[in-house]
Structure 1
Amino acid sequence: WLSHPPAGCGSSTLSYDLFQLGYTDITSIDYSAVCIEAMRARYTHCPGLHWAVMDARDLRFPDGSFDVVLEKGVLDAMVAGEADPWHVSPQATALLDRVLSEVSRVLRPGGRFVSISFAQPHFRKPHYAQPAYGWSLRHETYGTAFHYFLYTMVKGQALAPADLALGRSLHEPPCPTGPPQLPPSPMADTEDFLYAIEL
């Protein structure tokens, strides 16, 4: 038996694909009522697919409701506007923490949170590796020229020491970025840079 709320399912066929693989008790959420109504109508022939209008920051499920929580690209979207992935803003960090805290709360002991992301481990693992969530952390890399990453957290298992250190690094002040850059020297607008290149 498997149930999961993809935190923001959108119009993805993922829930239906899982249903066809034999996972017949799946709850999908999105904050858009229009989206949820469209998905409910599209998959009305699949009685095991359930749809709910819900905000991933405030899940209306009891504690320990799910064996598996799966998200694909939702957390990526939440930080897409960040200018520097090495130094995520306090606002974005707080947003991710709120969602991840809710995910942890609705997972049963031994349950798994699966996150499919384009975010590389050095950017994303510090957010997952917070002791307050009460889960372990591992990741796998897929793809050849263009990689994506699958992170798996198991509720009730301990974080490895290296992951704990990554989690602590999220709350440390950023390191100085080095000496300030000098402004470029002024040049005439008419200068032809192609002729200035010596081959």
Structure 2
Amino acid sequence: MANAKTLEELSRADYWDERYRGDDSKDATFEWFKSFSNLESLFRNAFPSLRARSLVSSILDAATAYKLPIDLHDQGYTNQVCVDFSSVVIEDMAARFKDKGGISWKVEDVRQMSSIPDNDVDVAVDKGTLDAMLWGSLWDPPDEVKDNTRRYIDEPHFIKPFLIREALWDLQVLELKEEAGVFEYFAFVIVKKKAT
């Protein structure tokens, strides 16, 4: 995935359709970045409502070709909406995990989630979706990258400038140190400000 053309393709639904079409192996739910066991303490510390499952109205998982929604379900979080712009991914995940009640699978573009009402979720999780929208020069990104990230971020190190919306939310950047290997991993915890 090092070449520029492939990086650009990551931002397109047809790339993901092709990647997951006909893939019935266990690798179809490849774990992007970190696993749930690596992130569980982050979730519990960053999201107070996740400490008490009864307080969680809904979890939105933005782009969902991995196991996180299933791991959350197995921990008792059974009110989840999982979206992806790849119909192949959604159909596969819905069929594969049809026994997991309380997870809704929807074909939806995170840049314009028309079927998700405003203020309808308590916690939104992005585990690599924004990364897949970034290609070209990160110091002078193409207009398409700026438009895609703006539309996505306004809908709910170099990424931080894309995330700052001081009037809308507070942003906290946490370094995930365990099992970092050669890469540094960061969590961006965004808490929406209450209307005054």
TM-score by length of 2: 0.64
Q: Contact (CA 8 Å) 2:59, 2:124: kept in 1 or not? A: yes
Structure 1 runs not aligned, ≥5 long: 104-120, 158-199
1:146 is aligned to 2:176: no
Q: Is the 8 A contact 2:58 2:80 kept in 1?
A: yes
**Structure with the larger helix share:** 2
Shift of 1:43: 0.9
Deviation track 1:62-87 (CA, whole Å, cap 9, x = no partner) reads 110000010111110101x21x2222
Residue 139 of structure 2: which of 86, 101, 115 is its match? 86
1:38 equivalent to 2:92? Answer: yes
Quote the residue 1:129 is aligned against.
164
The match for 1:68 is 123
Give identity over the alignment, percent.
Answer: 33
Q: Which runs of 5+ in 2 are unaligned?
A: 1-55
* CA distance, structure 2, for counterparts of residue 66 and residue 55 of structure 1: 16
1:13 Cα shift? 0.8
SS of the residue corresponding to residue 19 of structure 1 reads helix
- Which protein has the larger Cα radius of gyration, Structure 1 or Structure 2? 1
Name the structure 1 match of 2:192: 155
1:144 to partner: Cα distance: 4.9
TM-score (norm 1): 0.64
Correspondent of 1:77 among 124, 132, 138: 132
- Counterpart amino acid of 1:85? L
Conserved? CA contact 2:61–2:80, under 8 Å: no
Q: Which amino acid aligns with 1:44?
A: K
Deviations for 1:118-151, whole angstroms, at most 9, x for unmatched residues? xxx2x0111111235x000011112253211100
**Kept in 1: contact 2:85–2:107 (CA 8 A):** yes
